[in-house]
Structure 1
Amino acid sequence: MSKTGEEWQVARRRKGAARKTKSRQVSSTCSQEELDLGKTVKRIRDTVSELRCEEFWQGWKAAGSAALSKPPENRDTEGPADQPGSSKDGRLCQQLECVCYGLGSFSSCVSARFQLAMLLLLLDAGQIPLKDCSVYDPAFSSGERAVLRELGLTVLTENEEGKRLATKPTLFYLMHCGKALYNNLLWKNWSVQCLPLMILIGNGFNGMMDRTVGREFQRDYSYIAQAVSVCEERRLPCPSRLIDVFSDTAVITFPIGSLNRLPQSTWAEPPEPQYQHCSDLEIIQRETQS
């Protein structure tokens, strides 16, 4: 039960039903545009405090810390032990960045607010400065963008469609986003050099594959389909009352050893995804965004 005085209950899905991704409709309601900045920030911080006391947060913290603290295997992380920023074993500690897509309208959606609170907890646990976390969703109102800036986060102004190149170790937080966004992100980083720099917290790839017709999955989301066999997924705990907030969530990493098992042709000139066969793409594209 929420400590902020809000009573809410998550509707249970019928057994075997697929979880729906967030609505990609852009909201422009007056209630969102006229947010009480202070009250909204306090509500989010209260939710952070609530989650911090939850038992399942410890599982998230442990899994996230393990992934965030492991240096990418394809980088030369060895350096002098007395070098600033080096750990005791001589590894050069490189500060992580974070990118969050598809958070949703957290001022009106309880699930989105809890997901934002969890993001803030993960940033704190991973010692990632708030300013180094970039967030974007077409659904954000101007009031919500102001709230995010007040919290200290960096609000992106361009719809990248997930096509963000990781040039340093980066945590991507993609809670209940559409498959196309994951697929775009993988395409943009489709190399043995870039994939190991990525740590994803979002929907498990195996679950996506299980919920999609095989031939359509291979055709429309080929990068996810290829990544399934080489990534490592660690499922994150989810209490029953938050099933629609944190269900089917995993920490996903890309070990260099697994990537090297793929033939070299895997990495040759990967074509950009087009999605001409997808009737329900689950993301808003730049050219169709209003």
Structure 2
Amino acid sequence: MSETGEEWQVARRRKGAARKTKSLQVSSTCSQEELDIGKTVKRIRDTVSELRCEEFWQGWKVLLCSAAGSAALSKPPENRDTEGPADQLGSSKDGRLCQQLECVCYGLGSFSSCVSARFQLAMLLLLLDAGQIPLKDCSVYDPAFSSGERAVLRELGLTVLTENEEGKRLATKPTLFYLMHCGKALYNNLLWKNWSVQCLPLMILIGNGFNGMMDRTVGREFQRDYSYIAQAVSVCEERRLPCPSRLIDVFSDTAVITFPTGSLNRLPQSTWAEPPEPQYQHCSDLEIIQRETQS
């Protein structure tokens, strides 16, 4: 599968994109082909250190730990039998999360030339550290990545996917999905793939809030084209993540979204019966390009 930009087009919503804050101005004078891997890794790690000192980061950390604890309790019973109470709660003796989550990141963007994408990558690394998720257990994909950027991600220890999954990744264990400012179709595909009472509670989703998506889309079109998001709005738990004004273009409208089993069980059983795969034949401005092999 080719990793060119034609394969998957990620549309990014930038609230107030015309406003350039001094702290986020960036000059991309070097091409991606000339990317200095060592310097780029250092720049990312410096950004991690910068975010770690931000007050709002503590809010993100608390909400992640809370969500991860709930997701850990949603593991299949056979996976819990060999674990003690601390493991089931997702907590270790020092209060941090046990290494039982994995992570998938889609649509990060070109972080070597886009400062917003670099901050989002730095936040991802902070979340992995807070959740005690091994770097190798975090898979990342975006066709916008250059060969140099893929090398940087591998140098950081992350796993770089080579196939366009279109967001259709099944959660078989508690999983953090990190989708910053991605298109609605990507979220919708992810929900469709996990559309069951067993899989949805395993998901922790950090990305654009579903309520905001619904408010910005014509109701009839939202129900028709993004039916899984539309149904999820009423049963998910969406908690807005704090964002300082200087980073509004980076982390605006970001929430941590979970799917409590109790809420899902209130829906009729017919909700889960043979959910049809999204096709998007009516979408003229689809924010994801589908695989050529898909009909």
Compute the TM-score of the two structures, normalised by the length of structure 2.
Answer: 0.81
Q: CA deviation at 1:44?
A: 0.3
Could you give the per-residue CA deviations for residues 222-279 of structure 1, whole angstroms, max 9, x where no partner exists?
A: 0000000000001000011111100000000000000000000000000000000111
Pairs aligned (count): 290
Residue pair 1:40, 1:147 contacting (<8 A) in 2 also: yes
Summarize the Cα distance change of 1:27–1:191 in structure 2 as closer, same or farther, 3 Å threshold. farther
Structure 1, unmatched stretches of 5+, are none
Highest RCO, 1 vs 2 (Cα 8 Å, sep ≥ 6): 2
C-alpha separation between the residues in 2 aligned to 1:263 and 1:22? 51
Contact 1:136/1:159 (8 A) holds in 2: yes
Note if 1:171 corresponds to 2:137. no
Judge conservation of contact 2:80–2:88 (CA < 8 Å) in 1: no
Give the drift of 1:283.
1.7
Relative to 1, partners in 2 of residues 1:263 and 1:28: Cα closer, same or farther, differing over 3 Å? farther
Q: How many percent of aligned residue pairs carry the same amino acid?
A: 98
Q: Deviations over 1:105-163 (max 9, x none)?
A: 00000000000000000000000000000000011111100000000000000000000
Find the counterpart in structure 1 of residue 150 from structure 2: 145
Q: 1:72 to 1:39 in 2, by over 3 A?
A: farther
Cα distance per residue 1:60-84 (max 9 Å; x no partner): 1199999999999997786478999
The answer as to whether partners of 1:10 and 1:243 remain within 8 angstroms in 2 is no
Structure 2 contact 238–255 (Cα < 8 Å) conserved: yes
RMSD: 7.9
From the superposition, tell whether residues 155 and 4 of structure 1 become closer, same or farther in structure 2 (CA, over 3 Å): closer
Q: 1:136 aligns with which of 117, 120, 141?
A: 141
When residues 277 and 29 of structure 1 are mapped into structure 2, their CA distance, relative to the original with a 3 A threshold, is farther
Is the contact between residue 7 and residue 143 of structure 2 (CA under 8 Å) also seen in structure 1?
Answer: no
Deviations 1:178-230 (A, max 9, x none): 00000000000000000000000000000000000000000000000000000
The alignment's TM-score, normalised by the length of structure 1, stands at: 0.82
Name segments (4+ residues, structure 1) moved above 3 Å. 1-30, 62-94
Question: Would the alpha carbon gap of residues 19 and 249 (structure 1) be closer, same or farther in structure 2, given more than 3 Å must change?
Answer: farther
Matches within 5 A, 1:47-126: 47-61=47-61, 79=84, 95-126=100-131
Gaps of 5+ in 2: 62-66
Cα distance change on mapping 1:11 and 1:85 into 2, 3 Å: closer
Conservation of the 8 A alpha-carbon contact between 2:7 and 2:291:
no
1:27–1:141 contact (8 Å) kept in structure 2: no
Q: 1:281/1:22 Cα in 2 relative to 1: closer, same or farther (>3 Å)?
A: farther
